[in-house]
Amino acid sequence: MALPFMKMHGLGNDFVVVDARKEEKKLSEALVKAIADRHRGIGFDQLAVIESRGNADAHLVFYNADGSTSAACGNATRCIARHIMDETGQSKLTLTTDRGTLFAEDAGNGLTAVNMGQPQLLWHEIPLAREMDTLELPMDGAPTATGMGNPHCTFFVADVEAVDLEKRGAETEHHPLYPQRTNVQFAQVIGPDHLRMRVWERGVGVTLASGSSSCATAVAAARRGLTGRNVRIDLDGGTLHIEWREDGVWMIGGTMHVADGTFTDQFRRSVE
């Protein structure tokens, strides 16, 4: 059967979204990878499926471009939250993911806020391969490890533009300290509570933005005393505001619903 989808992005971090609330949609790893192909499919950084489970407004399932799954995707969560708010007229939502229960709010001026939950700061929560101090890992550059439902490795550097992001991102993603691989960020302090950051996403590669990476970097910067807990982060695709509050890490930013479409039977038969 033909498969409807929506194309969305948060600051250029782009998503294919499949709405399975009314009818179950099964996506094989082969189909996910075919959709991710930017030449023969549609292309995305992550694919998200909206499901109906329990008492939440929606349950979200996330896939990376290589077909692997992820428990969290901040920008996709914001995009879907905005879609459901526009659809229902609600200004507050409860969403569930494999990361846990997340809360979303209309932040005004077209912005959407999502509470990504408390960061995971202990080595076994992230997880890392063995017990160690997560503030400064025993790696070149002494990065900070943080879990946001997915693992992160944040380097603080003097100049993010000088970093060979593809080379260092790929190397770090597969570092033996991270048994589940890791997202990689390079961040530079621009001013008080102001960071510039570039991102390599696990299972994807270089992306223009990443919500969970922004949350992890803000937490790492605050832990290292480089910033406070309310931070502006400038990414290649735009700006996010991150607030590490008592109830979790809140991410505030814009979203875009680009288009609606349908994957044809011919396309699905070609890969399944």
3-state helix, strand, coil in the chain (%, to 5): 20, 40, 40
% pLDDT > 90, the chain = 95
Task: For residue range 18-27, list pLDDT tens digits in order.
Answer: 999 999 898 9
Its sign, for the CA torsion 9, 208, 250, 180, is positive
**pTM of the full structure:** 0.91
Domains and CATH numbers, the chain: 3-115+255-271 (3.10.310.10), 144-246 (3.10.310.10)
Task: For residue range 4-41, list pLDDT tens digits in order.
Answer: 999 999 999 999 999 999 998 989 999 999 999 999 99
For the residues 64-85, what does the mean pLDDT come to? 94
pLDDT(1) > 80: no
DSSP, collapsed to helix, strand or coil, labels residue 239 as strand
